[in-house]
Amino acid sequence: MNEALIQKTSLFFKDTFQAEPEIIVLSPGRINIIGEHIDYNDGFVLPAAIDKIITFAFQKNNTTNSRIIAIDLEDEFELDLQTPIVLSDKVWTNYIRGVVLQLKKANFNFQGFDCVFSSNIPLGSGLSSSAALECGLLYGINELFKLNIKPVDIALMGQKAEHWVGINCGIMDQFSSVMGLENKVLKIDCETLEYEYHNADFNDYSLVLFDSNVKHSLFTSAYNTRREECEEGLRIMKNNFSQINSFRDCTENQLLSVKDKMSPNVFKRAHFVIKEINRVELACEALDNGNIPFLGELMFETHEGLSSDYEVSCAELDMIVNTLKKEEAVIGSRLMGGGFGGCTINLIKKGQEEAIKTKLSKLYLDTFGIELRIYDVKIGNGTSLYNPN
């Protein structure tokens, strides 16, 4: 599948610029096994890069002008590197403008380039296509102009580009897109950016994503509200316990002891965060021990917390998870990503996938009148140069 995408991107570049691309960059989307809404709460997350990617073809053009073409959108724009970079009404271009702005702010010396890109990361599904776009572009410019930017700094600059666009995201998406390894999950400490790899051998189970095919408009405002509620909760915890610096220092008992000092919503948000940070640790142990059924139980717990305490689920996602929970072949399911739509991530016993897909798809269509989209995913490598040999 990715080979066809690479060929398509390369041929488009050749037809457009009458030249072979100097480099081809592959930049993946990501999943998060567990640790949702924790990256901006200084906890731990457990993401992985996947085998759904954006493919970029690049060349230097020895001018101060860059031409960027989005093949799938049948759209393009030009960026003069000598003029101030400002937000555009054409939203997809802002991620690219944001990347170039970060490079300029950091005083990197680079010139104009030509770039085309194409993707098989489903848009709006919570698989972080924007992080793949930012990091793939940064990686390509870094390689073209020998800027010697470290991988971790590529992730951090990608995050800053996304902030500039207006999404106040944590570091998880960009970090996992850049640093992912095939058949490994990344445990990232979102406070220090220390990270470690854990084997992602799901043994007798397949990773399947069920895309609800909805995206409720609540998302951006609710995301920012959740951040504010968490900050308020942490402030109250710090005021009452001198040893607490972040949610990772909090116990559930400490939180319960100051419940009356918090609004109901602030308490619920903090409750979820403290329990979810603990679940990430338990998930790493489960993976290390090959105890995949226990990992699945933790995923179900996370969904319950995201739905009841963090309140970022929706009727469609809850229906998917509640339906799958009754199926013996499904050992874990939860919403993945920001919420209010997007995907569930699911562990399904090998050999049972098609039966589960057929049954759920029919039930979902009957319930909501919406077609369920389904993606089989494998854990792949982070952003890299394509080498055909």
Residue whose structure tokens are 């990772």: 248
Give the closest residue to 116 by CA, choosing from 214, 196, 177, 25: 25
List 347's β-bridge partners, or say none.
Answer: 207, 332
Catalytic choice (51, 114, 173, 318): 173
Residue 199: enclosing H or E segment and its boundaries? strand 195-199
Q: Look at the block and give the residue holding tokens 């924790």.
A: 38
Backbone angles phi, psi at 166, to 5 degrees: 125, 5
- 8 Å CB contact between 120 and 349: no
Query: What span, in angstroms and rounded, lies between the C-alpha atoms of 37 and 263?
Result: 20
Q: Which of 280, 168, 277 is nearest to 228 (CA)?
A: 168
Distance separating alpha carbons of residues 42 and 49, to the nearest angstrom: 21
| 77 φ/ψ angles, rounded to the nearest 5 degrees | -155, 165
d(CA 147, CA 295): 41
Are the C-beta atoms of residues 24 and 10 closer than 8 Å to each other?
yes
Active site residue 376: no
Tally Cβ neighbours within 10 Å of residue 342.
Answer: 25
Cβ atoms 112, 81 nearer than 8 A: yes
Short-list 115, 150, 153, 119, CA closest to 51? 119
Rounded to 5 degrees, what angle do the CA atoms 142, 165, 41 make? 90
Find, among 238, 236, 271, the residue nearest to 253 by Cα. 271
C-alpha distance across the termini of the chain, in Å: 17
Q: What is the rounded CA–CA span in Å between residue 47 and residue 181?
A: 11
Query: Coil, helix or strand for 158?
Result: helix
> Which residues are part of the catalytic machinery?
173
